[in-house]
Amino acid sequence: MKMNRELQRELLAELRDHYPGRSSSVYGMGEYSQAECVANLIYMQEHGLVESGIEFSGLSGAKTLTQAKITAKGLDFLEDDGGMGAILATVTIKLHEDTLRQLIEAKVQASSLPEDQKSGILKALREAPGETTKQLITKLVDLGMENAQKALPLIQTLLQNGQP
């Protein structure tokens, strides 16, 4: 059976209206058959969006329909901003100043600049006060954002494959 996104949204909206309670009204929604509703509820349960309230018993596969309930993940799915799940899933990344200096040093070392230029840059970087390093990092991030178009293929590859 093909999954039906429109039906799934209707099922979630119906369960949201009964939240925090449960409902049996989702086992037959409008023009959709019970089989369609059940299949989509089970699919959404497998993704943690609902508790389907559907139990299969014995070898016969007979099903019992009790009452379904939307989960917090299901409620967040309906929200335009991702709900509280998006807020709680926020990741803060902190890089120590020394780590940033090492990253910059590695890039300078790997560059095709003449050795005397490399050593001059590296010396200045190592001797720079923290505030100067902070400004440098800010400028490098700005430069990276200005050239985001060049980075998009790399970003896409990393996100799809998990590696460069």
Overall CATH class of domain 5-88? mainly alpha
The confidence score (pLDDT) of residue 98 equals 81
Task: Provide the 10 A C-beta neighbour count for residue 40.
Answer: 26
pLDDT bin (cut points 50, 70, 90) of residue 162 is low
pLDDT digits (tens, 9 = 90+) for 50-102: 999 988 877 777 888 889 999 999 999 999 888 888 888 888 888 787 888 88
pLDDT digits (tens, 9 = 90+) for 107-147: 899 999 999 998 999 898 888 888 888 888 888 888 888 88
Q: Cα–Cα distance between 29 and 10 in angstroms, integer? A: 8
pTM of the full structure: 0.57
Do the beta carbons of residue 52 and residue 41 sit within 8 Å? yes
Domain map (residue ranges) of the chain = 5-88, 97-161
